[in-house]
Structure 1
Amino acid sequence: MPGRTGARHAVVRPPAAGRTAAPVAAGLVLVLLVLVVVRLPWVGDLGMHAATVQRLRHSPLDPGNPLVDADTPSPYYSPWMLLLGTVARVTDLPVFAVLRLAAAAGLALLVTGVWRYVKTLSAHRAAPALALLSLLLLWGTTPFLWSGFPGLHSLALTVSYPSTFTLGLAFHFWAWLTRAVRGAAGWGVWLGLGALWAVILLCHQFSGVVATAGAVATVLAARPRRTAWLRPVAGLSAGAVVLWAWPYYDFFALFGAGDGLEPVHRVLYGHPVARFGLVLLGVAALVPRWRRDRRDPLVVFFALGVLVVGAGWLSGHYSWGRALPAAVVPAQLAVALEAVGAGRRRLRAGWAALLTGALLLGGWAQAGTLGYVVPRGALPQALEDRYRPPWTGYHWITPWVRYGDVVLAEGRPARQIPAYGPYTVAPGYPDFFLPDEERRTKATGTYFAERTPESVRRGIEREYGVRWVVDRTGALDGTGLRAVARGPDGQVLYAVP
């Protein structure tokens, strides 16, 4: 029976089991993620985002640097984080409660965005649920944890990050754009799309690159007439104006930030088979789509993603590897659509069988996610081995350390302590807008070196207004600092004389 969703889709009525299996499985996975939101495990950049909300809560118009006591802009001050900071300020909720709300909103936006976008590609009832399962489970046999990469294990640890919200917004953006290029959208729609594109780029720049690649693929696949380009160009111009007008940081200055980001992103190109091997099934599914339509949106989207990521590898711009979802996502969607698409029953069944096996394998690879909602001791040994324990927080210093105090710390503590309101001397993350970042990092290393004279340490304390020191190495025992609290793993909070 023929059907239409703006393009021609042949609707094949699936067996009852096929119509329910994918939604039920997707529902169970989503329940797991909702339970993870309640736990909000901490590994990675959660401290940075909590610190950003802290600064915007206390000073929404002039928050300063989120990590160190300096008056500099920051790309973390995005429209989404400004909204979260306002929520924290108005409701007086704790920052981590606000981040749980952010996680719930981001997850809802991602699920509904996938649903809306897939509906523009297929009229099959099971297609959105199967596409969502593919996005979460079809990765590799080794879980890869990075913001903007929506694998199940990765999403469990980054669901409260701006990247999850931004990726969900991107799916809605693609759905809206698809309908605009297929219909006779007016000027207002295109200007709104341009503004939404700018918001996406401001909220998470790397996911913004992925959103841009998907948008370009959508427009190219529509084969617009020459005269029809005026409205998309107007939307693009409106987005550029929003980017230029954003007051919290200079978006266009970020194009010069690549050199400081390359070393940390080189890992994105390592172990591709273990991390992304199951996506090859999706790449194979792109081939019949390409044969049917040389300008299929998923095919063009995938090609653009491969082009950006490949150029990053060849040129040494490893931060371009953050565009990997631009190659992975269209492949994941393609195999889900082939498994429910029109065509010969045997071919469709073959794709469904291959995808089912790949999803089971990918799900097993990421089964350690259960450890975030089930006590570790209750897990079978095979699952416990796959579980990655979250970091321990720094609530134990808050009875003494106040908002705005400067704490000298290095390594992981420097990435976590600002979440509670204090500053550190050196930022725990690369900061393009902080001119003395290298000097601060060197001073921190000097302070914790075993043979540093006490006079040098006192000088560093005075220069940066240090009131507290957190040491986890034992290097500061007997140095004249006064120990006021002891935390996990032998850490000590010292008061500065």
Structure 2
Amino acid sequence: MTGRTATTRTAPPREGGAAVLPAAVCRAAAALVVLLLLLVVLVLPWAGDLGMHAATVERLRHGLTRPGSPLVDADVPSPYYSPWTVLLGLLARVTGWQVFTVLRIGAVAGLALLVTGVWRYVRTLSDRPSAPPLALLCLVLLWGTAPVDWSGFAGLHSLALTAAYPSVLALGLAFHFWAWLTRAVREPPGWAAWAGLGVLWAVIVLCHQFSGVVASLGALATLVAARCGRRVWARAAAGLAAGLAVLWAWPYYDVFALLGTDGLEAAHRSLYRDLAGRYWLVLVGVAALAVRLRRDRRDVLVVFFALGAAVFAAGGLSGHWSWGRALPAALVPAQLAAALLAAEAGHRWWSRRGREPAGASAVAVGAVAAALAVGAWAQSGTVGYVTGPEALPPTVREKYREPWRGYGWITPWVRYGDVVMARTGAARQVPAYGAYTVAPGYPDVFLPDAPERTEAVRRYFAPGTAAGTRRAVERAYAVRWVVDRGGLRGAEGLREVARGPDGEVLYRVPGGR
């Protein structure tokens, strides 16, 4: 085959203004979803990894070139120091804005990139006006009826809780990357453009490694589906080399050191549980992929889905549970396929209404619309982050998940850089306010003494631990404060300073300020 690429099949031209009304309805529905997410960003509900990302920005604000661990007082690298968090840290440093204000700005930027990225990529697959807004709706609503909240997963409820994470920005960049790559393989540009694609790929990987895997699988699917010749593969290889050079040169952490690490497997075991409850609505998209497969065995979405499903299945079979984070590489093409099928079927149905029986077109539109309605109902608790749970009907309130309260109540006493002895949820939130903890609240593959730190925390809070043992741990890790829910009340040497809204107590250790 020559170096020229095969032309990707596109939908036939639109017939006048026949699709104007359905497209307008889809755009209005998508706009409501985006508006809801923007209103949620104003609230910025706290759950999951928000404390980690806040701590990362806070460390970069105080030490842009050598920030150390975001969570503990240790001079070690961290994969959370990405190009995006460095930019946010610089913004916080220059403006003096509070870290959660900066995270809100980052969330708006990430959502904007996600929406525009979906729009651009879908326009490479279909020229139907309703396709982009339908794709956005399918991306956030076609999941299941059991909640699934993971960074890099674009469900409505998941986005509401992770909008400020770098993963949202990385996923948005991935859609822009696929759109750019799709156009590049159709009409190959010069070498500089391919180098730019490689740099963009590297930025995605640095911002969120799991989304980088998804972006890579989508890129491979694009190249395979386009039936590229040697000329395109050679330029793609040059772009890959440019991206690898950026990864190698990144000064904040060694991304290649993450390969082969096994410290994240246990945390990802749950990704392989309740698959039917979490993802059954995606079956509508799988059926749409079957339609595309009959038309073209190397359809880009079919190949993309196959690659993502293969990686996910391999992780489950081999016990590499962290490979489950590649699941969006199977979900996204199925969701997009459902949107494209509905857009095309809706166009035929609407343009021929009154002249022909509805037939298969109506069935396809009805199936996708019903799935979207069920998905919206399943994730309707998201509205509670804007209105408050008390404003929700009882049936919707059951779907609402209470966010964390945060630890702003300790800030009148705990200063930046102080070490706080904390565990479980407290250890995941305290660093957001500038303090360190003894053991990290999240797995840290770059922290060599993480097991010793975890054991020190366990020993400190164990019932019956002698006061001398606690003093030794405090001295070893320069602990100034302790946060506990009451198990240490009356412990020798600890002095109560404040109480939080959930009954937790802040103690000053002997010799602390």
TM bucket normalised to smaller: over 0.9
Distance 1:280 1:388 in 2: 26
**Contact 1:136 1:150 (8 Å CA) reproduced:** yes
1:423 is aligned to: 436
SS at match of 1:484: strand
1:256 is aligned to: 260
Q: CA deviation at 1:157?
A: 0.2
**Contact 1:120 1:178 (8 Å CA) reproduced:** yes
**Contact 1:54 1:95 (8 Å CA) reproduced:** yes
Cα shift readout 1:296-322 (whole Å, capped 9, x = no counterpart): 110000000001000000000000000
Distance 1:361 1:440 in 2: 46
2:247 is aligned to: 243
1:479 is aligned to: 492
Distance 2:489 2:73 in 1: 24
2:382 is aligned to: 369
**Contact 2:419 2:481 (8 Å CA) reproduced:** yes
Q: Do residues 266 (structure 1) and 279 (structure 2) align?
A: no
Distance 1:358 1:9 in 2: 24
1:282 is aligned to: 285
Letter in 1 for 2:10: R
When the two structures are superposed, what TM-score results if normalisation uses the length of structure 1? 0.97
1:80 is aligned to: 84
Distance 1:115 1:493 in 2: 49
Q: CA deviation at 1:21?
A: 1.4
1:198 is aligned to: 202
1:114 is aligned to: 118
**Contact 2:486 2:505 (8 Å CA) reproduced:** no
1:147 is aligned to: 151
Cα shift readout 1:319-367 (whole Å, capped 9, x = no counterpart): 0000010000000000110112269643332211100000000000000
- Of 355, 373, 378, 1:360 maps to 373
- Of 115, 132, 137, 1:133 maps to 137
**Contact 1:127 1:337 (8 Å CA) reproduced:** yes
2:50 is aligned to: 46
2:300 is aligned to: 297
Q: Do residues 90 (structure 1) and 90 (structure 2) align?
A: no
Distance 2:232 2:33 in 1: 42
Letter in 2 for 1:287: A
**Contact 2:10 2:127 (8 Å CA) reproduced:** no
**Contact 2:304 2:330 (8 Å CA) reproduced:** yes
Distance 2:489 2:68 in 1: 31
Q: Which one is further off, 476-485 or 295-304? A: 476-485
**Contact 2:265 2:320 (8 Å CA) reproduced:** yes
Q: CA deviation at 1:8?
A: 3.2
Distance 1:71 1:15 in 2: 59
2:447 is aligned to: 434
Letter in 2 for 1:323: A
- Of 1, 17, 29, 2:21 maps to 17
Gaps of 5+ in 1: none
**Contact 2:308 2:327 (8 Å CA) reproduced:** yes
**Contact 1:339 1:349 (8 Å CA) reproduced:** no
1:64 is aligned to: 68
Q: Which one is further off, 75-84 or 339-348? A: 339-348
SS at match of 1:256: coil
Q: CA RMSD in A?
A: 1.2
Cα shift readout 1:77-120 (whole Å, capped 9, x = no counterpart): 00000000000000100000000001000000000000000000
Q: Which one is further off, 20-29 or 172-181? A: 20-29
Q: Do residues 494 (structure 1) and 507 (structure 2) align?
A: yes
Q: CA deviation at 1:227?
A: 3.2
Distance 2:427 2:132 in 1: 41
Distance 2:232 2:123 in 1: 24
1:316 is aligned to: 319
Q: Which one is further off, 112-121 or 348-357? A: 348-357
Distance 1:478 1:273 in 2: 48
**Contact 2:141 2:376 (8 Å CA) reproduced:** yes
Distance 1:215 1:478 in 2: 58
The verdict on how the C-alpha distance between 1:7 and 1:15 changes in structure 2, with shifts beyond 3 A counting, is closer
Q: CA deviation at 1:69?
A: 0.2
Cα shift readout 1:385-407 (whole Å, capped 9, x = no counterpart): 11101101111000000000000
- Of 184, 190, 193, 1:189 maps to 193
Distance 2:114 2:40 in 1: 16
SS at match of 1:52: helix
Letter in 2 for 1:402: R
SS at match of 1:468: strand
**Contact 2:182 2:222 (8 Å CA) reproduced:** yes
SS at match of 2:71: coil
Letter in 1 for 2:383: L
**Contact 1:417 1:423 (8 Å CA) reproduced:** yes
Distance 2:204 2:491 in 1: 51
**Contact 2:8 2:186 (8 Å CA) reproduced:** yes
Distance 1:246 1:34 in 2: 32
2:393 is aligned to: 380
Gaps of 5+ in 2: 1-6, 350-358
1:209 is aligned to: 213
2:127 is aligned to: 123
Cα shift readout 1:444-483 (whole Å, capped 9, x = no counterpart): 0100011100000000000000000001142343322011
1:329 is aligned to: 332
Distance 2:10 2:425 in 1: 53
**Contact 1:468 1:496 (8 Å CA) reproduced:** yes
Q: How many residues are matched?
A: 492
Cα shift readout 1:189-223 (whole Å, capped 9, x = no counterpart): 00000011011000000000000000000111111
**Contact 2:348 2:361 (8 Å CA) reproduced:** yes
2:106 is aligned to: 102
**Contact 1:52 1:77 (8 Å CA) reproduced:** yes
1:28 is aligned to: 32
Q: CA deviation at 1:427?
A: 0.2
Identity over aligned pairs, percent: 64
**Contact 1:138 1:362 (8 Å CA) reproduced:** yes
2:10 is aligned to: 8
**Contact 1:145 1:153 (8 Å CA) reproduced:** yes
Letter in 2 for 1:256: G
Q: CA deviation at 1:12?
A: 4.1
When the two structures are superposed, what TM-score results if normalisation uses the length of structure 2? 0.94
SS at match of 2:47: coil
Distance 1:193 1:328 in 2: 24
Distance 1:353 1:496 in 2: 64
Q: CA deviation at 1:228?
A: 2.8
Distance 1:441 1:476 in 2: 22
SS at match of 2:423: coil
Q: CA deviation at 1:377?
A: 1.3
